[in-house]
Amino acid sequence: MKKLFVLLVFVFTYSIGYAQDDSNESTMENTVEQTEMEQVKRKVEKSEAKAKKEKKQAKDLKKQEKLEKQVNSKSKAISKQEKQIEKLQSQLEKGKLKGTLSPVDIQKMDDKIVKIQMKVMKEQEKLKKLKRKM
């Protein structure tokens, strides 16, 4: 009976120790899994940040190209209007020299020239603003 009792006590203590060892292994496995999950999270966050950064750079590049197109179109518009002014002025001078223009026609041409010059000034201001944005 004593032997049986000692044997039961021994088995009982051994089983408790084994149960504690088993719980330590499970916590170790949990910590390993947690660290792996954290590493995966970090990698995902880094890749998301990188993708976001690339998207922003692409958007900025697109915006810059759009500004350049606008600057080019404004410059072309200004040069076209300046050529138109020169053409009207030369027609006015030729008409005055030949005497084919009436005073009303001269006034109309002068008004047209002034109007186009105002447009050119506005376009130049817009061009300056666009260049500042660049």
Confidence of residue 60 (pLDDT cuts 50, 70, 90): very high
Spans of all domains in the chain: 2-133
The answer to whether 78 and 123 are in contact (CB under 8 A) is yes
Query: Do 127 and 74 form a contact (C-beta atoms < 8 A)?
Result: yes
* 39-59 residue pLDDT tens: 999 999 999 999 999 999 999
Query: Residue 116 in contact with residue 88, Cβ under 8 Å?
Result: yes
Q: Residue 94 gets which letter from DSSP?
A: H
Q: What is the pLDDT of residues 71-125, one digit of tens each?
A: 999 999 999 999 999 999 999 999 999 988 899 999 999 999 999 999 999 999 9
Q: How far apart are the first and last CA of the chain?
A: 97
Q: What confidence score (pLDDT) does residue 116 get?
A: 96
Q: Looking at this protein, which amino acid is placed at residue 97? A: L
Q: What pLDDT, on the 0 to 100 scale, is given for residue 31? A: 81
Half-sphere exposure of 49 (CA within 13 A, CB side): 6
